[in-house]
Amino acid sequence: MRTKEEIKEITDYLQTKEKREIQFNEEAILEDYQKNDNHQSLAIKILSVFGGVLASLAFIGFLMLAGLYDSDFGLLFFGTISIVFGIGISKIHDKIIIDTLSVSSYMIGFILLGIGLSKIQVHDNTICFIFMLIALISLGISRAYILTFISVLMINGTILVLLISNKFFGFVQWYTCCLAVVLAVLYIKESRIITFHKTGSILYNPIRIGLVFSFLSGLVIVSKADWIKISFEDIWITSAFCIISVIYLLSHLFEVLKIRKTNHKTVIYLLSVLLLLPTVLSPAISGAILLILLSFLVNYKTTLVIGIVAFIYFISQYYYDLHFTLLTKSILLFSSGILFLGLYLLTHKKLKSDEKI
Amino acid sequence: MKDIQREDLHLISRHSSISEQGVERAIKEKVYNDPENWKKFLRLLLMTLGIGFTTAGIIFFFAYNWADLHKFAKLALTEVLIVTTTVIALLPKLKNSTRNIILTGAAFLTGVLFAVFGQIYQTGANAYDFFLAWTLFISLWVLVSNFAPLWLLYLILINTTFVLYSQQVAKEWPEIFVTALLFVFNSMVLIASVVLSKYQKIKDVPTWFTYVLGLAIAIFGTGAVVIGIVDTYQPLFPVLMTIVTALFVLGIWYGLKIKDGFYLAVIPLSFIIIISALLFKISGDFGMFLLVSIFIVISVTLVIMNLINLQKKWKNEN
């Protein structure tokens, strides 16, 4: 929540960034600040999701004990009502305090509908499509943060289930590649997206964080394929996409850091590729690096932390799973360590000399 | 106007005719990381990765022909490694942050040393005395460096030692007692760190550290109380309930005082879980499930509402 004076300061500042006169709808801005509470801390968001999940579990327990499980019609009916209620209430009161109620209702609806549909022998694929459709509709209607976030996760989940249960394993990789590209575009083109349409700026944050989790889930599946007893043939495809995206990001970075000399650039490109090459068999690592760099580029701390945690996890998993002898692993680790230190010394000099100017 | 945030730009762009380029310039200037931050970030990233990978590579190398080495060689190698890293950390030219990172590496190597010792003399890898020794021998470094990640490792080690001790030696200790002790111990550490940094006896404790510790305390406290509720007879329970309530109230008071929503979100959530457990203790039929579900939705909503109001109030006060 900002005061009128602060808003005036911000709009004045923004005016300096533009040559022509900008029209500000000050009333609408003030109203949005008052109504929207969109400055919510992470604590509140986690609280509403966590509360929603706990309440849904208890409510499902109630429904099952009350005998709803025996009635197919009851399950479908309550499921649908619940989803409609969840979306509806978030639409009517788009305040964050409604979130817990709307999120629990939305999730309960999906669970009941899922059980109901599978009890009347609807094919899994059809259930997935129905879920995806509902989530898409909700994405179109709702403007609430958490509901949008859950819908994105739902759509991603149904796509992954569809691809895996129908044995289109290769497409899981392509899907993850697409997510990498979409994420990169979303991060880099932030100002484009939020100025393109009003909805863009409202849905931008929840969709971005939703896609981050979707991307990570894709990476986990691709790199831990043996969990679900499948194997990928051309696993390098996803890595190649991620590595190319990282390299592309580096070119952005050169602008920020004002690195202009071609030989500097070439050495950094080469070293980076050299560093990433041993991880070609584990796209999750280059994916996590991509996420870290993107998040730092736009200064988005939440996904930066997620990226770092994912990176540490993926890298330990990688060396744990690798079917090499300890000697090979040791050489791989040692040489990448030396490369990192080399890169450090190289950039250290470069960065220092920049500082002096 | 200093603190323009991403949310401000998002919101205002909705109600103005500002162009993409205008937002781009503003967001790059006010929100995105500047070259200075990038330099710091890259330096830290490359150094951490470099040191981490190189050490891991060395460890893997010895692990490779480990079985053939004489036990003296095994111990000597690890010790040389520790001594070298510690000596490097003492080099006068280093920055403090670098020194701390290296010392943290040495602290991990100490664990490796005791693991090697345990492997040679078959003491077992999860024996509590292994963790106890590890904890004891890095104490000095923890105190000297006063580096938050190292402190976190230290606390994890103390907690682990204690849990393993209760499982391997003090088998007769009831679960509730162990959890309660962990709760009390970690609370004391958190309180001490807050008090000490307030009176400037130590440098400021990073927020993430207090949050991680606070979260662990909330989990231990809630866990202990829920165990107490579920178990039929627990003479300790009233004492525990008093301590938990007192510390939770203290936490809420502190949260209000320093205007930090974290404590006001985590502690009420713990209370909500505890009350739900109590309700289930009373009855487990379907009516109770409905009641609990309604209770959670209402109480969480109230907590969130309260937090939002507080944040508005804090904002206006500033």
Whole-complex ipTM: 0.78
Are A51 and B272 an interchain contact pair (Cβ–Cβ within 8 Å)?
A: yes
Are B12 and A14 an interchain contact pair (Cβ–Cβ within 8 Å)?
A: yes
How large is the average pLDDT for residues A69-82? 87
Kindly report, residue by residue over A118-153, the tens digit of the pLDDT.
888 889 999 999 999 999 999 998 888 888 999 999
**Phi, psi at residue A24, to the nearest 5°?**
-110, 130
Would you say residue A352 has pLDDT above 60?
A: no
Q: Please enumerate in sequence order all residues whose Cβ is within 8 A of that of B119, keeping only pairs 6 or more positions apart, or say none.
A: B125
Query: How far is Cα A113 from Cα A109, in angstroms, rounded to an integer?
Result: 6
- At residue A357 the predicted structure's pLDDT band, cuts being 50, 70 and 90, is very low
Give chain A positions within 8 Å (CB) of B1. Answer: 6, 9-10, 12-13
Taking the CA of residue B213 and the nearest CA in chain A, the distance in Å comes to 15
Give chain B positions within 8 Å (CB) of A61. Answer: 286, 289, 293
Is A317 part of the contact surface with chain B (CB cutoff 8 Å)? no
- pLDDT score for B125: 58
Kindly report, residue by residue over A242-286, the tens digit of the pLDDT.
888 888 888 888 888 787 888 888 888 888 888 888 788 788 888
How large is the average pLDDT for residues B152-180? 89
Q: Please enumerate in sequence order all residues whose Cβ is within 8 A of that of A216, keeping only pairs 6 or more positions apart, or say none.
A: A287, A288, A291, A306, A310
Are B19 and A327 an interchain contact pair (Cβ–Cβ within 8 Å)?
A: no
Structure tokens at A329: 């692993």
Query: How far is Cα A233 from Cα A231, in angstroms, rounded to an integer?
Result: 6
Structure tokens at A48: 């509403």
Give chain B positions within 8 Å (CB) of A267. Answer: none
Model's pTM, two decimal places?
0.78
Per-domain residue ranges for chain A? 1-38, 42-166, 168-357
Determine which of A162-171, B66-75, B218-227, B241-250 has the lowest per-residue pLDDT on average. B66-75
Question: Which run of H or of E encompasses B32?
Answer: none
Taking the CA of residue A110 and the nearest CA in chain B, the distance in Å comes to 17
- pLDDT score for A232: 62
For A:191-220, CB contacts with B below 8 A are 191-192, 194-196, 198, 201-202, 204-205
Is A312 part of the contact surface with chain B (CB cutoff 8 Å)? no
- pLDDT score for A127: 94
Torsion of CA A205, A208, A214, A217, to 10 degrees: -100
Q: Please enumerate in sequence order all residues whose Cβ is within 8 A of that of B2, keeping only pairs 6 or more positions apart, or say none.
A: none
Angle between helices B148-168 and B96-120 (to 10 degrees): 20
Taking the CA of residue B63 and the nearest CA in chain A, the distance in Å comes to 7
Structure tokens at A84: 């409609």
- pLDDT score for B252: 93
Give chain A positions within 8 Å (CB) of B303. Answer: 47
Query: How far is Cα B115 from Cα A320, in angstroms, rounded to an integer?
Result: 18
Would you say residue A226 has pLDDT above 80?
A: no
Give chain A positions within 8 Å (CB) of B305. Answer: 97
If one compares A295 and B115, the residue with the highest pLDDT of the two is A295
Kindly report, residue by residue over B216-229, the tens digit of the pLDDT.
999 999 999 998 88
Give chain B positions within 8 Å (CB) of A340. Answer: 46-47, 49-50, 53-54
Q: What percent of chain A has pLDDT over 90?
A: 24
Query: How far is Cα B215 from Cα B263, in angstroms, rounded to an integer?
Result: 9
- pLDDT score for A183: 92
